[in-house]
Amino acid sequence: MIYFFLFIWHLFIPGWLLVQLLRLRTLRVLAAFALSYFLLLLNLVPFKYVGGRVDSFALLVNLEILLFGIVLFWRTRVTNQRRSPLRPSSLGVGIIRLRNVLSGNRDLAYRAVAGAAVILLVVAYLAYAGPYTEIPADAWHHMGEFQRQYNDIQRGWIQPLSELGLVFSKYAGYWYFIHAYLAHLSGFTIPESILLVTIATTVSFLIGIYVFALFVFEGGTSAERETVVVAGLTVVLYLLHFGVNIFSYVRYYAFAPSILNFIIYFSAVGLAIQYLRGDLGGARTAIILTIHIIVLGLVHAQEALFAVVMSVLLVFYYFLSTHRMPETTDKEILAVHTSDRLDNTYRRLKIVFWCVTTVLVILLGYSYLNLERHHPLEHGRLIPLETILPVIRHMYILDPTRDFYQTLTAWGVLVYAGFFMLFKELRAYPFIVVGMLSPLLTVFNPVFTDFFLRYSWPDLMWRMCYLIPLPFAGAYLFLRCYKALRHHNNYLVKFASAVSLVLLIAALFPVNAKYVEAKYSRMYTLAPVKEGNNYGIWSDLISFIRTEPVKGILTDPVTGYVLRGLTGRHYEGYKFHRVQSIPLNYDAYDERSFSRYTNGWVLVINRRNGSISQNGRLSGHWPAHALQVAEFYSQKLIDHIADSPTIFINIWQNDGITVYRISNPTSD
């Protein structure tokens, strides 16, 4: 429990105190998380630049939390003293609200109970399924980064980065430091904290979805209870569908910096919507929104791009919607405004629209004239637009049959069909409409593609598909079909609704029939990792390496990938690929072949194979035979080790695995 307490203490409490001081009224849970993250980074960035002691960082963070608490307490006390004696204090108001929840305010109680149910169900699921640690998934890369930060923290110092520019890049590893720091304070090692961080990030992400979904759907359904139901369904669908190929985002990226960054992305989009609707003022909103973008950019730039793109698209949507007044009947725009306020909102939208348009034109022109475009066809993820429209040359879009479809899957195609059928109803939810139409303005827009390729690479562009709010639209369709099934008088409509519900549920699962194949289902990675594909197959080796004073490890890329993540020992290489790894197999060997790797280096010969990876075979993300590690060691290498007992000293062996300490070769 101490880890979860420290997680909340550092990533929620400071921001919650600031939310109270700033008197924010909506999306406070999301804003509290974003502001807490910002305060941590505000302290961490200088330490990352100049270095410093970990205990000094901890003292500074806790003093700030204490200071915010004192300021809030003092302000509340002063406010209460100014109130009429007949007016209840904040404590009294809190007691009255709690009593209302327990006795009469069923809607508020329903929200609270549903939120608690989400937490309990997710924790129960994770306790059953465990973390997604299949070898060689990306989880091992993230654990390796945790270990790197943890090793520095254990020495008591925050190691400075070599260049100022690295402080504002992904190499700073802020999220990796934060988890390693929390694990250190909790008294856990990185391997011991794997399930803890999985629960913390997954629950935080899904609670963020729940809160944002309540915001999106509020006022659009006929009853408060339906809003809660559709928000809960959105959470379930994010768990079951959000991701790509067969990989559930919630499972696969539980250790990645992006999963918590998504909470801040939703908070930023919520702020933008409130500003564009006229619910929030200008200056304070601009400052808070800027803080969100800074945090997103420092932690994981992808979500910063998402927030900017979605905000720009919302500006255009709201401007075009209000520009057609009074003909429009958009509930979210019209229902909340008086005529004067509506005029002020439209003037604001007009200014923002033309400012954004001007910036976009300047940025597009600068990018086209001054930056070279990365090769569009590299990695095979884009296609020339001329294959569809021969009149247009040298322009490219995302291949709709590859990553785009792997993100949508058959379920997403059904949701899109329902979205267009119910488009008039869904216009009440600008976030859903803009998100669902976003591919036409991003990955299938050759102007955007050209712009994107001048700043990034074609193999990353498909991630813009994460902007599509399929779980939101899908949750609405589920509720709509259920209501029609129960209440509609036309039996044909009832039948169509029942069929739609069955299809929407069935399409979440893999289908492999004679005339239908829907293989991109997240159910494969939502299941527990099979024993033969998990790190338990090498648990004895891992335990030995963790207790042995090892300077560096020579081994195959897959074994090294896991050992770096679970032991913190040095291993050269990028993920499970052979890129940057130290080669073991040569055409010929002599006593000097491994002379550079003495004085604490060990050679691990791992010929204990794991199982064939079904997820690797289905997804193509890694070879199905990735755990057939014995093939990495040539017979010449094995013979050389056997012929050189003074160089390779056997220090441990068990069931196909041998560890050798590498000694200096004998001199002639």
The tens digit of pLDDT for each residue in 255-271 reads 999 999 999 999 999 99
The pLDDT value recorded for residue 159 is 84
Q: What are the start-end ranges of the E strands in 167-305?
A: 243-244, 247-248
Nearest to 618 by CA among 409, 449, 477, 473: 409
What is the pLDDT confidence band of residue 79, given thresholds at 50, 70 and 90?
confident
The pLDDT value recorded for residue 81 is 66
- 3-class DSSP state of 653: strand
Answer with the residue of higher pLDDT: 290 or 324: 290
Q: Are 230 and 177 in contact (CB under 8 A)?
A: no
The tens digit of pLDDT for each residue in 534-552 reads 999 999 999 999 998 899 9
- 3-class DSSP state of 378: helix
The pLDDT value recorded for residue 176 is 95
The pLDDT value recorded for residue 325 is 46
Q: CA of 569: how far to CAs of 93, 137, 150, in Å?
A: 55, 19, 11
The tens digit of pLDDT for each residue in 317-334 reads 999 887 654 444 444 444
Look up residue 152 and give its amino acid.
D
| Confidence check: pLDDT of 360 > 50 | yes
| Confidence check: pLDDT of 150 > 80 | yes
Q: Are 149 and 635 in contact (CB under 8 A)?
A: no
| Confidence check: pLDDT of 102 > 50 | no
The pLDDT value recorded for residue 256 is 95
pTM above 0.75, yes or no: yes
The pLDDT value recorded for residue 519 is 87
- 3-class DSSP state of 2: helix
The pLDDT value recorded for residue 530 is 93
- 3-class DSSP state of 357: helix
The pLDDT value recorded for residue 220 is 67
What is the pLDDT confidence band of residue 340, given thresholds at 50, 70 and 90?
low
The pLDDT value recorded for residue 83 is 58
Answer with the residue of higher pLDDT: 158 or 94: 158
Residue 654 pairs in a beta bridge with 657
Tokens of 616: 């690797």
The tens digit of pLDDT for each residue in 233-258 reads 999 999 999 999 999 999 999 999 99
Provide the residue ranges of all domains of the chain, joining segments of one domain with +.
1-219+229-255, 257-370, 375-529, 531-662
| Confidence check: pLDDT of 99 > 80 | no
Q: Are 237 and 275 in contact (CB under 8 A)?
A: no
| Confidence check: pLDDT of 590 > 50 | yes
- 3-class DSSP state of 133: coil
| Confidence check: pLDDT of 221 > 70 | no
Q: Find all residues with CB under 8 Å of 398, minimum gap 6, and list them.
A: 381, 382, 383, 404, 439, 443, 444, 449, 461, 462, 464, 465
Among 82-96, 165-179, 556-570, 652-666, the least confident range = 82-96
User: Burial level of 300, CB count in 10 A (0-12/13-18/19+)?
Assistant: buried
Answer with the residue of higher pLDDT: 61 or 172: 61
What is the pLDDT confidence band of residue 222, given thresholds at 50, 70 and 90?
low
The pLDDT value recorded for residue 86 is 47
H or E element at residue 498: helix 491-506
Q: Find all residues with CB under 8 Å of 408, minimum gap 6, and list them.
A: 416, 465, 468, 470
The pLDDT value recorded for residue 160 is 87
What is the pLDDT confidence band of residue 15, given thresholds at 50, 70 and 90?
very high
Q: Are 627 and 610 in contact (CB under 8 A)?
A: yes
Q: Are 220 and 228 in contact (CB under 8 A)?
A: no
Percent of the chain clearing pLDDT 90 (strictly above): 70
The pLDDT value recorded for residue 166 is 84
| Confidence check: pLDDT of 107 > 90 | no
| Confidence check: pLDDT of 359 > 90 | yes
CA distance 651 to 553: 14
Among 222-226, 594-598, 659-663, the least confident range = 222-226
Among 272-276, 334-338, 494-498, 639-643, the least confident range = 334-338
The tens digit of pLDDT for each residue in 169-202 reads 878 899 999 999 999 999 999 999 999 999 999 9
The pLDDT value recorded for residue 223 is 73
| Confidence check: pLDDT of 617 > 90 | yes
